[in-house]
Amino acid sequence: MEIRPLEGLAGLAFGRSRWSVREAWGTPEPFRRAAYSPVLTDAYVRQGLMLNYDERDLLHSVEVASPAPVGLRGVGLTGRDHRIVLAELRAAGVTPVEVDKEWVLPELGIALGRPRQDTPEDFESVLVSSRPHVDYAISFFEGQAGAPLPEEFQVVPHAGFGPVRTGLARQELRELLGAGMASVPDVGPAAQDNFFAGGIVVGYDESGHARRVVITGPARVTYQGMELLGRPLGEIVAAARERGLPVRPEEAALRFPEAGFSVWTARAGDDSLPSVAVAVVPEPAG
């Protein structure tokens, strides 16, 4: 498969809807890369492809795993000695840059990853993104010595969990929730904090205010007396209907539309799987 930088690969143009890709490529194995990921990745295992979508379900990046063939400007990128690959890319007018032992082509939105060993192994996978200058940097921040976090968070409809609310400033939440790791997510919010102690992940808008809050545990999360974390989706549906609460099954998720939150599981197609996260996320536009 030949890469068209910032545009996609053959048959996988960026901006295509998830459903049109599935219609053309067949049924994938959808999974959630992390418990707090708001969108599913579609895996095509036999083809060595993982397709990543944004919150509007539009394709934004593709990961090609070795030994699936993928090339750029006639240079094969996987299944070959990485030193030869780098040399051939330079000869083709492409300048690979090493960042934290990984090789990237920043202007082209391509990440070659790191070789399986120092030498002479190949790149195990190639990430092709619709964005140049993909930012993989993370940083850690210290917490404030405040009150311990509660063992249970109750859903506040359309707003968050207990005192953890959308709309709060980043510094307010850091003072409330303590130490964590900051990063720039692939899609959605402009920035993200992962608070380790509470298993809480917050996404921020450009102004530094929370627009997405996700809890993965270890704290309990409840709504109207229902346990929402670590419980099979089928049981949550039954409990909600007993209480007369509207609930909408979605792929690897349940949506509570009147309360503005969702319950997520790790992969689609099995209601016996336990939930892995509860999220207050704005509805996608369009």
Torsion from C-alpha of 256, 31, 9, 45, nearest 10 degrees: -150
Give the separation between CA 234 and CA 37, rounded to whole angstroms: 21
Element containing residue 59 per DSSP (H, E): strand 59-65
Give the separation between CA 51 and CA 40, rounded to whole angstroms: 9
10 Å Cβ neighbour count for 251? 12
Q: Distances in Å between the alpha carbon of 23 and those of 15, 20, 33, 49, 233?
A: 15, 5, 22, 16, 27
**Res 286: pLDDT:** 41
**Res 186: pLDDT:** 81
**Res 118: pLDDT:** 60
Sign of CA dihedral 154, 159, 165, 170: positive
CA 41 to chain centre: 8
Tokens of 46: 């036999």
**Res 113: pLDDT:** 84
Helix (H, G, I), strand (E, B) or coil at 30: strand
The length of the chain is 286
Amino acid at 268: A
Q: Contact at 8 Å (CB) between 125 and 63?
A: yes
Give the separation between CA 126 and CA 71, rounded to whole angstroms: 10
**Res 285: pLDDT:** 44
**Res 134: pLDDT:** 62
Share of the chain above pLDDT 70, in %: 94
Does the pLDDT value for residue 271 go beyond 90?
Answer: no
Helix (H, G, I), strand (E, B) or coil at 18: helix
**Res 262: pLDDT:** 97
Helix (H, G, I), strand (E, B) or coil at 184: coil
pLDDT, one tens digit per residue, over 157-214 is: 999 999 999 999 999 999 999 999 999 888 889 999 999 888 999 999 999 999 999 9
Share of the chain above pLDDT 90, in %: 75
**Res 187: pLDDT:** 81
pLDDT, one tens digit per residue, over 47-99 is: 999 999 998 999 999 999 977 889 999 999 998 899 999 999 999 999 999 98
Of 196 and 41, more confident: 41
**Res 10: pLDDT:** 86
Map out the domains of the chain as residue ranges.
3-129, 137-286
To the question of pTM greater than 0.75 for the whole model, the response is: yes
Give the separation between CA 117 and CA 161, rounded to whole angstroms: 44
pLDDT, one tens digit per residue, over 141-173 is: 987 655 678 889 999 999 999 999 999 999 999
Give the separation between CA 225 and CA 106, rounded to whole angstroms: 49
Torsion from C-alpha of 277, 204, 33, 46, nearest 10 degrees: 140
Amino acid at 158: H
**Res 115: pLDDT:** 85
Of 1 and 119, more confident: 1
Average pLDDT over every residue of 17-28 = 97
CA 78 to chain centre: 24
pLDDT, one tens digit per residue, over 100-132 is: 888 999 889 999 988 876 667 889 899 999 988
**Res 3: pLDDT:** 96
**Res 261: pLDDT:** 97
